Amino acid sequence: MKLNSALSLVALSVVSVLQVAQAASVYEVVNIEDADLKGTLTDTANGYGQSVNASNELVGVSRGRTNLTTTDADGATTITDVQDAINADTSITYSTLTEIIGNSFTFHALENDATSPWLPTFESVNGSIAPSDVTTDNPNSVDSYFFDINDAGVRVGSMSAPEIKIDYAGSSTSYDYWYYRNYENRGFVKASADATEVELPPPFTEYTNSSDVTANVGGVSSASAINQNNLIAGYGSVDLSTYGASIVSSCISNDSDSSPVDICIQSNQFDGYLTYKTRALVWQYNTDGSVTRTELPLGLDPGTKTYTFLAQGIGLNDNGVVVGRSHVYRNGNTDDLYYDAAYWTKNSDGEYEYNWIPVESSSVLSSVAYDINNSGIVVGSYTKYIDGYQRTKFFVYDTNTPDTKPVTPNDFYTYTSDLSSKAKDINNLGQVVGYIETSEEKQLPRPKDAFLYDVNTQEFDDLNNLLTCESKGYEQDSDGNWAKHQFTVTDASGNTLTYDADIRIVEANKINDEGVIAATAFVRKPVYETDSNGDLVLDDNGNPTFSLDGNGQPVTSYLPRMVVLKPTSSGTACAIDSSTNSSSTAYSRKGAAGLGWLLLLPLVWLRRQRTR
């Protein structure tokens, strides 16, 4: 599809020189075995592909230990997103009166893995424990996330501190300890899978009140991206918001044996009441393991205003140009405060300067830039009302012509549709990946698919339409006929469920210059019964029971899995009409040997419940 505006000829010519692959290459899923994905760690429910480098080393995140799941799914399609990392959307009840359960785990997967190619392999960060090793006596209290990896294998992300417990001295007789962490989100860098992570603290981690009493609040930071020169882009706290400062001041003033300041602060962290002023940051990771931090300028002069102004660095290229977003007064008008996409470049003195990315119209409510390639082409998204509904559209912007407005590609249509979309990454060939809605339903949640867009050819494709049949769960018989692979699963009652394989790519997060894509897919799995606490209902042998619908039939649902897509020259895109090959299920109450079910749990995006 054509653009509704044009990028500069200079930028397109640079991309053209680098272009060696067609945007509409045929893709195959390479981390698939017997029509199922190797897409998450053992004993976790959800897996997400975050980034992949030129050596085909992938980093990802697994979330949701299986015994923590609930039935509160609502068809959620939330994906771990770097710009939301500071807002801990973790999955379980958090309280200073109970042990803190870390529920997000980092992993890597290697194409040349000696055991199994692309096998998710747990990678400890800040002392985190593999989900398969977690027990009551060996708990994990650390949450960790990978966001990027460069070609040297240096990876970056965000982590929490481990739990600290102190003797309980409150009024209740039901508790023995209080629990807290020194920080909830802190950026880190790791030189390799076996290396110890290096913390990337923000400028602000402690608060001092008017009486000169200081308390640790931890602050927040996240390392979002790393380039080939080990320059890291991210963001971190520079101060508390005015409201947050008042809360911490109260915690300090009321510090006592029955209300310790650390517990008061942690309780408010869990409840989301401590908010921070943040700034875009870069860290230079040096060969000796040292780190140099630089704060990037805000998009406006805050003067004496005490507003909670924010800025984030989210992506960068090998030239050190950083992209993200910042509060800004549009066109210098102090009545027009917005949170808009931005990029930062160095001036002749080597100092970073802020650059606003213009909005396509005054109706844009906000915008964000996610990535920039070495030719200076930025991808991001903006939010505005389309046909009366708030939608998000991805854009392409050329920093070589900074006065030109961003371009909105015309996705599946010859005009700007109301399908929300988000571009997550662009490589040096001008290939863009992200996700887009696939339904025009106005008032209900819309399903999403991953897309591939080529800046050069202006070609836009649903990645699912580029997959081989095997990559979509089909298998071919000796007569050349294709049919969906069928799984047979038996529950604790001896009931047998047979269902068709179903794999759908729902978000693409990273594409390297060879066209290899790190993404997330939804795969079809059975749903098992859970109790009122959200724990699986198990028999004496630890086997689960199928969840049944109103007609007494088992329920299947979808859960996320990390997926790796590679261009292939030996296959063709699957031409089978899925509407005539619809998934089916067969249910019988026949006893059979149980199967490994820990990776067959329903899609559940566990929600935080706030408990003091």
Angle between helix axes 242-253 and 261-270 (nearest 10 degrees) is 150
Q: Which of 240, 250, 234 is nearest to 200 (CA)?
A: 234
Determine phi and psi for 472, rounding to 5 degrees.
-105, 10
Angle, alpha carbons 243-249-250 (nearest 5°): 95
Cα–Cα distance for residue pair 577/193, rounded to 1 Å: 42
Cα–Cα distance for residue pair 373/516, rounded to 1 Å: 16
Helix, strand, or coil (residue 322): strand
- Bridge partners (DSSP) of residue 295 are 281
Total Cβ atoms within 10 A of residue 137: 5
Helix, strand, or coil (residue 606): coil
Question: What integer pLDDT is reported at residue 232 of this predicted model?
Answer: 98
Average pLDDT per block of 10 residues along the chain, 612 residues long: 45 41 77 93 93 98 61 33 34 84 96 93 98 92 98 98 97 96 98 97 97 97 98 98 97 97 97 96 96 98 94 98 98 95 97 97 97 98 96 97 94 92 98 96 91 96 96 92 92 88 96 98 90 73 86 87 95 80 50 30 29 34
Question: What integer pLDDT is reported at residue 579 of this predicted model?
Answer: 59
Question: What integer pLDDT is reported at residue 604 of this predicted model?
Answer: 30
Beta-carbon contacts of 82 under 8 Å, excluding residues fewer than 6 positions away, are 147, 222, 224, 225, 314
CA distances from 68 to 137, 142, 546, 574 (A): 17, 15, 17, 37
Determine phi and psi for 525, rounding to 5 degrees.
-145, 160
Question: What integer pLDDT is reported at residue 605 of this predicted model?
Answer: 26
